[in-house]
Structure 1
Amino acid sequence: MDIDFDLKFFTFKRRVSLSKKTFQYIVAILAILLATIASYWGSEKVLMLILAAFGGSLALLILMRQLAIGYILLLLGSIFVPFSGPGGINASMLILIVMVLLWVMDMFVVKRQFQFVRSGPIRPTFYFMVVCVAALLMGQVLWYVVAIQAPLDTQLGGFAIYFFSLATLVMTANIIKDVRWLKAFVWLFIGSGAIYMFARVLNLSVFDDYYALGYTANSMLWTWLAALPFGQALFNHDLSKSKKAILWLIVIVTMYVAIVQGQDWKSGWVPSLIVIGVLLALRYKRAAIASTPFVLTAFIYLLLRQITAEEWSWGTRLDAWRIVLEASRVNPLLGLGFANYYWYVSLFNIRGYYVAFNSHSQYVDLIAQTGILGLICFIWILFEIGRLSWSLSQRLTDGFARGYAYGVFAGLAGVVTAAFLVDWVLPFAYNIGLTGFRASILPWVFFGGVVSIQQIYLREKS
């Protein structure tokens, strides 16, 4: 009796038949080979490498059959896979690179045409990708002859963070053609995040061993764990009252952990609080208008109080911005290349010291690494995402899609705020780095999801 296999690579299909005896030989040989390798070296590291190779091969086969499953693997890998290689490269980056390569290969080899959806955010994203390539090339120029540059591998790491984040937006918009995949990703994200937050409230520290620190200690997790469930709770009319109550509870617990347990970490609760405020204002417009003077007064008071309490911190931050921008003047259009400014700023005096430092601002980082052109493209992308998500929120009738559009619109406000605080959205190699890429990839998936919903809506309309 033969054993039949259906091999499929996107549109390529091939049926392979193996005799039962041949299949048994193959299994036996593989088992002996793996056992020999593991016993010969006798180390846990070798065993982990074997398991990683097996798991990677299995994941590759799954992706070749259905690339959209990659988003589930991406999220699970970001949260639970502790692997960290040279320079901090991790499962998130590796899975994403494989997904992008498979997607490009499908267009280049199988379909033999490069075709992308047409939507407002796509064009500035492509422009930004081109700017990133140009900035990487510019980074090979020694702009200050008495200074040293960042090592090439560090520059490539910084470039990869930018380039593949942008590629994620475009890929998501083109790959997800069924809203069920987006639903699966969103609900898995909310569910996994809720488990972590409830564990924090109940002081179950055992969960810290399973959730990667680079994922949980990133502002993007907290921002989007406020935006998406609250958007669904307020605007998804298809949900029952009990499900909405659960989502409300998740948001309340998240904000409790962020504000009460993590009060000193402003990147955790400030963007999330902005998100909550935007969604409440959109849902209860009259109350929002009436309370605007009080909210503004409270906001200004808290801001001034914060600046006064941390005057030294804000002062040094402003000094750092000034020096980084001063160093970037030698090439204002395309910047100094990825990670280079970290070494160049040591030539400048910051409060009596000549040291290397980072700007702690996404916007300053953008100018320093990719120039004014990079900053313009970034702001252009955010503007287009905001315009599209707002437009969809006013037109969509499907409960999930409508709640998602509102959630992304509010989440965008959180992203803008978080980017002001630290480089949470496009991590800087010497600060948040590839470790933070585990969670910084989230907004780019969600941005691409908005474009995907737009395309699904247009297809249904036509």
Structure 2
Amino acid sequence: MSATFMRTMLNQKRRHLKSSLTARQPLPVFRSFLIVGVLLGIVGLSLAAGYVIGADRKFVALAIFGPLAAIPVFFLVSRHFTYAILSLPIAAMAIPIDIPTGTYTKIPISLVIATMLCGIWITSMAIRNNWRLAPSPINRPMIVFCIACTISLIWGIVWRDPILRMDIFSNFIVVQIASLVTYAVSVGVALLIGNFLWNEGQIKYLIGCFLFFGSLMTIFQILRIDHRILTDRGLWGLWTVIPAYALLITQPGLRLRWRLLLLALIVANLYQTILINLLWKSGWIPTVIAIFAATLIRSRRWFVVLAVAVIVLVYTQQDFFNQMIETELNEGADGRIGMWEINLRVVGEHWLFGTGPAGYAPYYMTYYPYDARSTHNNYLDIIAQFGVVGSIIWLWFAFASTSEGLRLYREAPPGFLKTAALTTVSGWIGAQASMFFGDWILPFAYNQTINGFKYTVYSWFFVGLLISLRQIIERRKATQTVSNSV
């Protein structure tokens, strides 16, 4: 009985082994086809690479190899998305890599990274069907402004004057779309910061980047070192001085050596921007306005002291300031009124949604070819490009963001969060003032070109902090409420 049982078991094992071998036979064939396919694909890509390199077909190369590179990059960045966002301030301030386009304009690496991150974020939200944003009162005006900019592009094309000299603008529609992308990505950077930087350490990192690189920029500028590495343009001085000043006036426990270093940074930067680059008003007036705003928010008493000190300084140095005004007039400062008049004439004919992104340039070249200069006023740029509708939405956004910054400062607990709130709201007030003096929060294609994104984005980092600080403060309130109830 046992022998029969053993033979039966052996026969079952043989049948099982035979069936398993039979089932596994197709696998080596599949592997063979897979290996052959991979080898053929490598050979094909090699031939394609040789062709496009030999023929200098950049767009063909991008079409072939772009998707192949995009897939692994997408998964890699998705796994470390917050770290990729934290690379943005370094990319903007200290990575001097610009991608050539075959024209005068170059695309900064910071714009490439920011666009990629926005695209990955939107794609992931679409895949998950989850379109939620971190709650903030500034979300709606920013998104509505982007929609208005898009409408203005279509509106400007449909209602474009038929006699415009479009022949002197090559690929003008490409320029307009690229300008629209820079505006949308600027808003996207603020939303990325606000939705993914949700702890105090990350906020310290962001502000620390501006203090560190701003210090290097200040030293290089004073010593006249031609570095070609750091992006010391735009409002770099504002976003260097204001974090240092906010730390000084909101951190009573700060050690003496750090206070002296921060004070030295502020004095050195103001020396460089006011005394050395006096005629560049948008380089120092916004910083001074932000200092006054931070002082007023922090203490009305010290604001009065600061105001009296400045009045005394102006009174005792009248010759210096009179010479400054005279130099400004000799440099043609009064000519800006004429530029503003031209701008308003164009706006008068296209007042609803404007002429579209960068759209007023052909009007200048057609109707005012001998005085075709930009406005050097970001508010007039906005009304010319996006009309009255776009300007109203922008003012809504400016008011909502400033009000939110003031609320955050009042609600933030003592410590670094209060410092960050004061930095953000006072710096944003100074940035809005800079728009009147000719600096750009939204880069204009025919002044900074798209390359200006690398320094106009500075202000949008801090707009994003308004969203981040709201989430951190609300989370701490909820935690405190729970602990108190327990």
Normalised-by-shorter TM-score class: 0.7 to 0.9
- Which of the residues 240, 253, 258 maps onto 1:225? 240
In the alignment, structure 1 residue 321 sits paired with structure 2 residue 340: yes
Partners of 1:354 and 1:203 in 2: CA distance: 36
Alignment match of 1:166 (pick from 166, 181, 187): 187
Query: Where do 1:119-158 residues align within 5 Å?
Result: 119-149=136-166, 151-158=172-179
1:198-209 alignment runs, 5 A limit? 198-205=219-226, 208-209=227-228
The code of the aligned residue for 2:89 comes to L
Aligned CA distance change for structure 1 residues 64 and 303 (closer, same or farther; 3 Å): farther
Q: Structure 1 residues 356 and 251, CA, compared in 2 at 3 Å: closer, same or farther?
A: same
Give the secondary-structure state (helix, strand or coil) at the position aligned to 1:425. Answer: coil
Deviation string, structure 1 residues 233-276 (Cα, Å, up to 9, x no partner): 22134643332332222222221221233223222122122222
1:339 to 340, 352, 358: 358
What's the CA shift string for 1:105-153, capped at 9, x where partnerless? 221113x211112221111111101101101111212532211355011
Go from structure 1 to structure 2 and tell me whether the alpha carbon gap of 1:330 and 1:304 turns closer, same or farther (over 3 Å shift): farther
Q: Residues 204 and 328 of structure 1: is their aligned pair in 2 closer, same or farther, counting only changes over 3 Å? A: closer
- Structure 1 gap segments, 5+ residues each: 1-25
How has the CA–CA distance of structure 1 residues 82 and 316 changed in structure 2, closer, same or farther, with 3 Å as cutoff?
same
Where in structure 2 are the equivalents of 1:51-90 lying within 5 Å? 62-78=76-92, 79-86=94-101, 87-90=105-108
SS in 2 for 1:84: strand
Answer yes or no: is 1:103 the counterpart of 2:103.
Answer: no
The residue type paired with residue 193 of structure 1 is: G
- The offset of 1:412, in angstroms, is 1.7
Q: TM-score, normalised by structure 2?
A: 0.77
Contact 1:89 1:434 (C-alpha < 8 Å) held by counterparts: yes
CA apart distance, 1:308: 4.6
- Asked if the contact 2:339/2:374 (under 8 Å) is kept, the reply is yes
d(CA) in 1 for partners of 2:279 and 2:201? 38
Within-5 A mapping of 1:235-384: 235-237=250-252, 239-289=254-304, 292=307, 295=310, 306-311=324-329, 313-349=332-368, 354-384=370-400
Task: Describe the superposition over 1:152-202 as per-residue Cα deviations: whole angstroms up to 9, x where unpaired.
Answer: 111012111211112222232222222322221221221122122223334
Change in Cα spacing, 1:243 to 1:56, as seen in structure 2 (3 Å) is farther
Aligned position for 1:21: none
Question: d(CA) in 2 for partners of 1:308 and 1:367?
Answer: 30
Secondary structure at the counterpart of residue 81 of structure 2: coil
**Where does 1:390-429 land on structure 2 (aligned, <5 Å)?**
390-429=406-445
**Cα distance in 1 between the residues matched to 2:324 and 2:141:** 36
Q: May I ask how many residue pairs the two structures share in their alignment?
A: 425
1:458 matched to which residue of 2? Answer: 474
Instruction: Pick closer, same or farther for the CA change 1:268–1:153 going to 2, 3 Å.
Output: same
> How far apart in 2 are the matches of 1:233 and 1:417?
23
The code of the aligned residue for 1:163 comes to A
**Structure 1 residue 283 displacement after superposition:** 4.2
Task: Write the letter of the residue equivalent to 1:453.
Answer: L
- The reply to whether residue 114 of structure 1 matches residue 131 of structure 2 is yes
AA paired with 1:177?
W
CA deviations 1:79-105 (Å, max 9, x no partner) are 223223223221111111011111112
Q: Would the aligned equivalents of 2:443 and 2:453 in 1 still touch at CA under 8 Å? A: yes
Question: Do the aligned residues in 1 keep the contact of 2:295 with 2:302 (CA within 8 Å)?
Answer: no
CA distance in 1, matches of 2:460, 2:207: 13
Are the structure 2 counterparts of residues 230 and 60 from structure 1 closer, same or farther at C-alpha, using a change threshold of 3 Å? farther
- Partner of 1:89, secondary structure, is strand
Deviation at 1:284, TM superposition (A): 4.8
d(CA) in 1 for partners of 2:463, 2:229: 27
Q: Could you tell me the TM-score, scaled by structure 1's length?
A: 0.81
Change (3 A) 1:369 1:454: same
CA–CA distance in structure 1, aligned partners of residues 100 and 251 of structure 2: 41
Cα distance in 2 between the residues matched to 1:76 and 1:129: 26
Partners of 1:106 and 1:245 lie apart in 2 by 46
Say which is worse superposed, 438-447 or 302-311, in terms of deviation: 302-311
Aligned alpha-carbon RMSD (Å): 3.6
For 1:439, the equivalent position in structure 2 comes to 455
Match of 1:178 among 199, 202, 208: 199
CA distance in structure 1 between the partners assigned to 2:455 and 2:118 by the alignment = 18
CA distance change for structure 1 residues 169 and 339 in 2, over 3 Å: closer, same or farther?
same
* Conserved? CA contact 2:197–2:468, under 8 Å: yes
Contact 1:226/1:275 (8 A) holds in 2: no
Instruction: Go from structure 1 to structure 2 and tell me whether the alpha carbon gap of 1:271 and 1:59 turns closer, same or farther (over 3 Å shift).
Output: farther
Structure 2 gap segments, 5+ residues each: 1-37, 479-486
Matched, 1:188 2:186: no
The Cα shift of 1:440 comes to 0.6
Tell me the distance in 2 between the aligned counterparts of 1:210 and 1:119: 35
Letter in 2 for 1:387: S
Instruction: Tell me the SS of whatever aligns to 1:143.
Output: coil
Stretch deviating more after TM superposition (83-92 or 439-448): 83-92
Q: Secondary structure at the match of 2:435?
A: helix
Amino acid corresponding to residue 208 of structure 2 in structure 1: W
Per-residue Cα deviation, 1:185-240 (whole angstroms, up to 9, x for no partner):
221221122122223334444xx1322xxx2122x211111112211222134643
Distance of 2:232 and 2:197 partners within structure 1 = 26
Change (3 A) 1:59 1:262: farther
